[in-house]
Amino acid sequence: MVREQKALRIMQVVFVVFALLLFPQMRYLTPAQPPGPLTLFHKLVALIAIADCVIGIVLQRILIKNPGESLPIGTVATPSQRWLIANVVRLAFSLSTCLFGLVIHMTGSPNWLAQGLVGLGILFMVVVAPGKPPADEQGNSPYGAIG
């Protein structure tokens, strides 16, 4: 396995463990309001959180799909760097969906909604595949193999 794949897997494990730790945190943090009925505010935050997950996947595919174009910051990244950046973006957006679950819990939403958003974020972290990193011109990864 190459370095960027190992680094991504380690990051993925750390992100998932952090997200799993939100479940006990929601149990011990008392919301400002007791859990009540589903309000329009809760529905809007849930929709934003779901859109956040979808945007993370779309951005991942955009960054990986166009390797010839430079990144918006003006620097040209190698295809392997773009692959790693795209997957970190996906993990970050999925983790933010989990954090939306914690925020919505603190506003007094029903527990099933808050826990569902955290679960959705974890699901997107684990299920969405990163794909294989691109190889350079010689067919090797620019980082080389570790082993």
Residue with tokens 């799909």: 65
Domain positions in the chain are: 3-27+40-127
Question: Which helix (H) or strand (E) segment is 52 a member of?
Answer: helix 40-65
Query: Comparing C-alpha atoms, which of 107, 108, 127, 129 is closest to residue 119?
Result: 127
Residue 85 has pLDDT above 90, yes or no: no
- Output the pLDDT for position 146: 40
Cα separation, 132 vs 113, in Å, equals: 34
Q: Which tops the pLDDT comparison, 117 or 129?
A: 117
Q: In the predicted model, what is the mean pLDDT of residues 134-139? A: 56
3-state secondary structure of 142: coil
- Per-residue confidence at 17, pLDDT binned at 50, 70, 90? very high
